[in-house]
Amino acid sequence: ETINETKRLQNNTRELANLVSELMKKLDKIDFPARLDKIDASISTINSTIQNVFSRLDIIERNLKDDINLKMTILNENLNKTKKIYTILLTLNLSFTIIILFLIRL
């Protein structure tokens, strides 16, 4: 029985060796260096694209900030002009009221 067990183990060992040999051939066909180079190139491209997107976002942010600042300046100028006009109108109104009151007393 030991002989049969030994033969069975030998057959199993040969079968395992054949399977390992087939596996090694398949692994050799995979060409890991070429695949890793492709992955590395893809990662580099993605990284470069992300950097470009960040640069564009910075430009957009700067443009928006400049545009908002310009509009705020224009709004402040218009507000100041409106205040001046209201002040002039109020002064004129007050002046006319005083003149009319003075004329009524005469």
Count of residues making up the chain: 106
Distance, CA of 84 to CA of 91 (rounded, Å): 10
State the pLDDT at residue 27: 87
State the pLDDT at residue 43: 98
Band of residue 66 on the pLDDT scale cut at 50, 70, 90: very high
**Mean pLDDT throughout 34-55?**
97
- Helix, coil or strand: residue 98: helix
Q: What is the pTM of this model?
A: 0.56
State the pLDDT at residue 51: 98
Q: Tokens 């002046």: give the residue.
A: 95
Q: Per-residue pLDDT tens for 69-99?
A: 999 999 999 999 999 999 999 999 999 999 9
Q: Per-residue pLDDT tens for 17-42?
A: 999 999 999 988 888 888 999 999 99
Distance, CA of 51 to CA of 29 (rounded, Å): 36
Distance, CA of 83 to CA of 63 (rounded, Å): 30
Q: Where are the domains of the chain?
A: 31-105
Distance, CA of 62 to CA of 29 (rounded, Å): 52
Name the amino acid, one letter, at 21. Answer: S
